[in-house]
Amino acid sequence: MFLPAVHAETDTAVLLQFIRENPLGILITGIQSSQQAFLQCSQVPFNPQVKAMIEAVDSKPRNVLEFDDDVMVLFNGKHDHYVTPKFYVETKPDTGKVVPTWNYSAVQIYGKLSIYYDSKTPETDAFLAKQLHDLSEHTERSIMGYTGGDKPQPWKVNDAPDSYIEVMKRNIVGIEIRVNKIEGKFKMSQEKPPGDRDGVVKGFARLGNKTGEAISALVKARGELHDFKKQALNKEGQ
C-alpha cells in the first residue's frame, strides 16, 4: 500500500475498528500450484484458491494446515468517489494547477495463515463452531443492528437445526491469520489547502446521496484531524 504520511492512519485501534465496520475482506495469496493460478484473490476462499492452499501444505500430516508464506487481506471502506477539480475553489481560480483524484479508505493486514478444512477433526469442528457463532453475533448486532428490545432479535446459529449446521460445516473452509503487520489510509483530501478542502466538503454534500454525505463528513473529519496534528507538531517545535 502506498502510504504518504498525510494519508496514513497509524492508530491500531482505529484500524481494527475499520475492519469491524468493513468486515468483507479480500484474501490475496501467491501460491505455486500445479493446476491453479499463482495470484488469487477472493472474498470467499474456496475453489480454486483454497485448492491451491491445500496443495501447498497437504504434504504435512496434521489436522490444522499451516501456510509458510505471508498472505494479505484487503478491507475497503464503504464509500469512495471520484473528486473533480471543480471542487477546488481556492486553487483552481488562482492557478488552474489541479487534477482529478479519487478519495477512498482501506486497511491491509499481513500474516501467517492456518487452514481448517476437515470438519471431522476436533480442531476444525471447534474452530468452525466458534467462528460461526462469533461472526453471526458480530454481523447480526453490529451490521444489521439486531440487538433486541425495540429492535429485532439477532439470528443465532442454534436457530438452525443441528443436522443442517453439521452439513454446512462440511462445506466451509476455516482460515485463521496470525497478523504480523497492519496498515491503513484515509485518502480524504486532508492534504489540500483549507479553501479547497471546504470546497470538497460542500461539493460532495451537494451530490445529495448517501455516498456524497459520507465522503463529505469524512473529508471534514480527516481535515480537522490533520490540522490538529499539524498544530500539535508546531507547538512541540517551538
DSSP for 42-101, written as a single string: ESS--TTHHHHHHHHHTTS-SSSEEEEEEEEEEEE-S--EEE-GGG-TTHHHHT-----E
Domain match, 90 and 144 both: no
Q: In this structure, what CATH number is given to the domain that contains residue 30?
A: 2.30.110.10
Q: Is residue 2 part of a domain?
A: no
Q: What is the pTM of this model?
A: 0.90
* Mean pLDDT calculated for residue range 119-146: 93
3 lies in a domain?
Answer: no
Evaluate whether residue 111 is within a structural domain. Answer: yes
State whether 22 and 79 are in the same domain: yes
Give the domain range for residue 145. Answer: 118-172
CA 120 to chain centre: 31
Confidence of residue 45 (pLDDT cuts 50, 70, 90): low
Strand partners of residue 183: 108
94 and 184: one domain? yes
Whether residue 135 is predicted with pLDDT greater than 80 in this model: the reply is yes
Instruction: Provide the number of structural domains found in the chain.
Output: 2
The one-character DSSP state at 224 is H
Tell which of 172, 192, 211 closes a domain.
Answer: 172
- The verdict on residue 68 lying in a domain is yes
Which residue bears the cell 461472526?
Answer: 135
pLDDT digits (tens, 9 = 90+) for 174-227: 999 999 999 999 999 999 999 999 999 999 999 999 999 999 999 999 999 999
209 and 225 share one domain: yes
H and E: helices and strands count for the chain: 7, 7
- The CA distances from residue 195 to 10, 81, 190, 229, in Å, are 26, 20, 11, 19
